[in-house]
Amino acid sequence: MPVEHRMGYPEPPATEGGAETTRGAAEEVQVKGKQRAQQWKAQAQEKMKAQAATQRSKAAHGLEETAEALRQAGQSLREKNKASLADYAEKAAERTDDLSHYLREKDIDELIGEVEGFVRRQPWVVVGGAFLAGAMLSRFLKASGEQAE
């Protein structure tokens, strides 16, 4: 005859291995949960890598265009007999072109690793760059607002 629990409900009959079955089911749920989390993490990483590769290509293309503009500026300066300024423009074009090729040739994982290493070695450069970018953006927005009025 079933024994009644305090609340008036019958207690389930004691079975051998009941706790073990519950424990096994909990472990299975935990394992499946970890596997699903790992799958989601892998999918997120792949999406981030694809987006980073797209941005890398856009940046490399923009740098190539900038290098070409610098070359044209150098030629124009040379035509105006400003050889020293033309030399600076041409050197800047070469460096910009080198950076563009560097971005195109590097694997996205290598680039991410190098950026992480740089940030670890030079955190103040990153903070300073962010500060300068913010200051430039605020000046730009302020100037844009004054022109609109």
Amino acid at 30: Q
C-alpha–C-alpha distance, residues 146 and 149, integer Å: 5
Give, in degrees to the nearest 5, the angle at Cα 120 between 118 and 122.
60
Each residue's pLDDT tens digit, 13-36: 555 556 677 887 888 888 888 899
pLDDT tens digits for range 44-57: 988 988 888 888 89
Output the pLDDT for position 28.
86
99, β-bridge pairs = none
Q: Name the pTM for this structure.
A: 0.56
Helix (H) or strand (E) holding 120: helix 108-121
**The pLDDT of residue 45:** 86
- If you average pLDDT over every residue of the chain, what do you get? 84
For residue 102, the Cα-to-chain-centroid distance in whole angstroms is 18
Any idea which of 10-14, 38-42, 135-139 has the lowest mean pLDDT? Answer: 10-14
Residue 77 to residue 70: CA distance in whole angstroms: 10
Q: How many CA atoms lie within 13 A of 144 on its CB side?
A: 6
Which comes out higher in pLDDT, residue 13 or 71? 71
For the chain, give the percent of residues with pLDDT over 90. Answer: 36
Please tell me the predicted confidence (pLDDT) of residue 93: 93
Q: Is the CB of residue 56 less than 8 Å from the CB of residue 108? A: yes
Contacts by residues 125-134 (CB-CB < 8 Å, ≥ 24 positions apart): none
| DSSP H or E run through 51 | helix 18-79
